[in-house]
Amino acid sequence: MQPPAPSTGLDLLFVWHFHQPHYAVEGGDEARLPWVRLHATKSYYDMAWMFMRHGSIRSVANFSGVLLEQLAALVEGATDRWERLTATPPEQLSGAERSFIIRHFFSCHWERCVRTQPRYAELLALRGEQFDEAAVGRFNAADLRDLQLLFNLQWFGFGATADYPLVASLRSKQRGFDAADIAAVLGLQREVAVAALAMWRALIARGQVELSLTPHGHPILPLLIDSDAARIALPHAPLPQPAMRAPADAAHHIRTALAWGEKSFGVRAAGMWPAEGSVSPAAAEAFAAEGLRWIASDDEVLQRSARPDGAWEEQRCRPWSTTTARGSLNLFFRNHELSDRIGFAYAANAAEDSARDLIEGARKLGAASGLARPLVTVILDGENAWESYEQDGFLFLEALYGALAAAPGLQTVTASEALATHSADQLQALHAGSWISASFRIWIGSEAKNRGWELLIATREAFAAAVVSPEVSAEAAAAARRALDRAEGSDWFWWYGDDFDSQMDEEFDHLFRGHCRSVYTALGLLPPLSLEEPVVAAPLPAQLPNHPIGLGEAQLDGRDSHFFEWRDSSAIEVIPRGAMNLAAPVFRTMRLMRGRPGLYLRLDGETASASVARSVVCRLTDDQGVESSLRIAEGAEEAQGAWQHCVELLFPLRPEAARVGLFLEVSEGAIVVQRWPLSGLAWFDLPRSSWFV
């Protein structure tokens, strides 16, 4: 057998992927997390800046539709909670807000971003590596103001630092910042975001960068089409039943992403990187049906796909094609090893050594293929990896792009250029899997992940049943569809279970269930109480005091009708406790009393009227799943409750009920300002009495 002939050249295809899940609940006033705004000033700007600097380097830039949607909102003035807290003078911060800032405004790579800045490192030492509430008392107003600014400042990358003198000026200042400095930084963030998008538009327009997209909400498309597709790689895994089967949603995500790509950059993308490189025969058909020319996945998926006989070394260095009922579709398969070296290994090594290793590795793959002009494909996240690199990846990218430009016989290409010069071989059957283990195990198959899918499936079924009603307006259906797009994203399922830890799993769970709830509320439906229970965390326990609950009745007038009215009730503090709760509580105490008509509930706390309309919603379920919900507006007196000096409500209750779970929300206008408990339901054992016999 003759050894493979050495290649005479090498094409290298890079696909850099950019994505963030939707951090704002439909109908809400602000995003809960800041990562779109902060990555815009770092990796989204830096990566475009590097292509501007190295005009001979060609590549694909891949954006999820939901990221483009959020970037558009950002430049139009959308805010997030972290930005609002940055802009708030320290003297005006509540205790909970001070705690939130001190806990979370070190959310970055400590070795690269905190300890390299003397004042930032000093503030971390003041707090301690492990946060505790005692640290809050150690920060004065000047410390807090410096922390507000330094956290935001460190998220400006090397490109913005080079182009905007304010960044370097404030870094050299280090301390003693004032409100004008903070306002300048927040203003610059949007300016940089606008400039980043403009650079990408220019790069795409001149053909140096090819645009590709990920289906809009970043769903695992094969599972959205049929969640039983997971059985191909995981035949014995427990899966949610009934299964998710929403092929129409898959088509919607593809079309919506294409529309956002065209709106953002003025061109229609020819290809897509499916979320997490997730493919299946049904997903390939969905992509082909929308006229896409190519998609991409991982070479471990290629290994498990049925293909003609041939050497693996040759097969991994060419594009492929699959035939579907809606037409043919080309596929690129990322070189798993080289892609992961950039994502997970090179940050710990010298930039020049890493660049040399990547190019040598690509050349070895090409030589082993025996092809005259092999194609090596590298696909990875274009934002998160750089936080671990020295100088946010500048040294590595500078070394890599410089070496690529100078390397004889090697050229970088876009995906469309690769298809024009490389013939695609035909797959016999495409495997169903992702870039991780050629399966979908990260997103389905465990108890927590399946629980999330069950909630999503129920939400999707409610959506499908409601939107056909003539009573649902087009505007309401569109709002519900936007919320469902966000809930169908892959990110929530990534964080459920034990595979990964975001340090903010509670927030991701809150967002997922919030997106699901928004589907119901947009359609005028009452969300099920199952969406109040955290997917992973156990329900917050709550027990009534041991003394007996009085058997009497209260007058529902929102006032102290007489001294003995609530004497035998049980009192529970309802001040929210938790890192994510920032608002001052409206109510401090809840009283419960079982009476002949049902369960009486009273709330006491702030009596001064707010400048906007306030209301309380309380929802309750008993141990048999019988639910009830009451809403009362401030100043109202109704048959089931009143809010005057206090809130008094009466819930119907079955005489045999032994246990109830409930939660309450207080709103000012459309904004929820207090929730108790912070998540899930508070459960109470109800004592029985012969009075009910």
d(CA 507, CA 117): 29
Q: What is the mean pLDDT of residues 310-337?
A: 97
> Residue 605: which pLDDT band, with cuts at 50, 70 and 90?
confident
Flag whether pLDDT at 328 surpasses 90: yes
**pLDDT at 468 (0 to 100):** 96
Q: What is the mean pLDDT of residues 519-528?
A: 96
Q: Lowest mean pLDDT of 171-185, 320-334, 423-437, 539-553, name the range.
A: 539-553
591/106: higher pLDDT: 106
Q: In this predicted model, what pLDDT tens digit does every residue of 415-468 receive, in sequence order?
A: 999 999 999 999 999 999 999 999 999 999 999 999 999 999 999 999 999 999
**pLDDT at 546 (0 to 100):** 40
Flag whether pLDDT at 4 surpasses 70: no
Flag whether pLDDT at 291 surpasses 50: yes
**pLDDT at 239 (0 to 100):** 97
Flag whether pLDDT at 61 surpasses 70: yes
Q: Are 332 and 418 in contact (CB under 8 A)?
A: yes
> Residue 2: which pLDDT band, with cuts at 50, 70 and 90?
very low
566/238: higher pLDDT: 238
Flag whether pLDDT at 84 surpasses 80: yes
Q: What is the mean pLDDT of residues 66-78?
A: 97
Q: Are 15 and 210 in contact (CB under 8 A)?
A: no
List alpha helices for 277-333, DSSP H: 281-289, 299-303, 312-315
Q: What is the mean pLDDT of residues 89-106?
A: 96
> Residue 505: which pLDDT band, with cuts at 50, 70 and 90?
confident
d(CA 557, CA 641): 7
Look up the pTM and report it. Answer: 0.88
**pLDDT at 583 (0 to 100):** 54
**pLDDT at 611 (0 to 100):** 65
> Residue 541: which pLDDT band, with cuts at 50, 70 and 90?
very low
Q: What is the mean pLDDT of residues 177-185?
A: 98
Where is 425: in which H helix or E strand?
strand 425-426
Residue 451 is which amino acid?
R
Give the mean pLDDT of the chain: 92
d(CA 290, CA 324): 12
d(CA 193, CA 199): 10
Q: What is the percent of the chain where pLDDT is above 70?
A: 92
d(CA 255, CA 238): 32
**pLDDT at 549 (0 to 100):** 53
Token digits of residue 439:
């399966």
**pLDDT at 548 (0 to 100):** 43
> Residue 566: which pLDDT band, with cuts at 50, 70 and 90?
confident
> Residue 8: which pLDDT band, with cuts at 50, 70 and 90?
low
What b-and-e string marks burial along 513-552, b requiring 16 or more CB atoms within 10 Å of the CB?
bbbbbbbbbbbebebbbbbbbbbbeeebebebeeeebbeb
Angle at 586 (CA atoms; ends 582, 592), nearest 5 degrees: 120
Q: Residue 624, exposed/middle/buried by CB under 10 A (0-12, 13-18, 19+)? A: exposed
Flag whether pLDDT at 579 surpasses 50: no
Q: In this predicted model, what pLDDT tens digit does every residue of 355-385 receive, in sequence order?
A: 999 999 999 999 999 999 999 999 999 999 9
Flag whether pLDDT at 199 surpasses 60: yes
Q: What is the percent of the chain where pLDDT is above 90?
A: 79
**pLDDT at 543 (0 to 100):** 45
Best CA proximity match to 572, nearest among 595, 542, 547, 551: 542
Task: Specify the 3-state DSSP secondary structure of 429.
Answer: strand
Task: Specify the 3-state DSSP secondary structure of 503.
Answer: coil
d(CA 433, CA 277): 8
Flag whether pLDDT at 568 surpasses 50: yes
Flag whether pLDDT at 540 surpasses 60: no
Q: What is the mean pLDDT of residues 526-531?
A: 94
> Residue 688: which pLDDT band, with cuts at 50, 70 and 90?
low
